[in-house]
Amino acid sequence: MGNKIAGIIMLTGTLFLGSCAQQVANTEGKHARVEETMSTLDNVSEINFKNKKNVLLDVRTPEEFAEGHVAGATNIDVKNPNFTEEISKLDTKKNYYIYCKSGVRAKLATEKMQEKGFKNAKNFKDGMSTYKGTVTK
């Protein structure tokens, strides 16, 4: 009887651990696909924006953009109701590097773009709030 109980405990434990491992793998896969994050916006200079395949996208409001932005950035406000329409005009094959003030709206924009078929949309985990580089007005 002791062997039966030990066997049941081992089987239950194996099934439990196996199901946890499956969930972790699935969760990690989802986050890896959706959360395409880069290091801080301070690393923006490491990307060659002279290459037309690379696009810097500022998803803050037009007012925030006018106060100061990274040189060469294109502004499309993610909170604007026509954001989906605006991104549909973009080339889905290009590489998009997205930022906002703190990273929250950039993450939202990245997710929306990926849902619309953008395979190379990445956001900076931080935004203008920590940026120490040159700002253009």
Query: What mean pLDDT, rounded, does the chain reach?
Result: 81
Q: What is the pLDDT of residues 31-51, one digit of tens each?
A: 434 456 777 898 899 999 999
Q: Note the pTM of the prediction, 2 decimals.
A: 0.73
How many other C-beta atoms lie within 10 A of the C-beta of residue 118?
A: 22
Which of the residues 41, 59, 100, 121 is marked catalytic?
A: 100
Task: Tell me which of 3-17, 86-100, 116-130 is least confident.
Answer: 3-17
In whole angstroms, what is the distance from residue 62 CA to residue 47 CA?
A: 24
**Active-site residue flag, 100:** yes
Instruction: Please state, for a pLDDT cut of 90, what percent of the chain lies above it.
Output: 66
Domain made up of 37-124: CATH architecture: 3-Layer(aba) Sandwich (3.40)
Do the beta carbons of residue 95 and residue 46 sit within 8 Å?
A: no
Give the position of tokens 């290091």: 39
> In the chain, where are the structural domains located?
1-34, 37-124
Q: Which pLDDT band, with edges at 50, 70 and 90, does 13 fall under?
A: very low
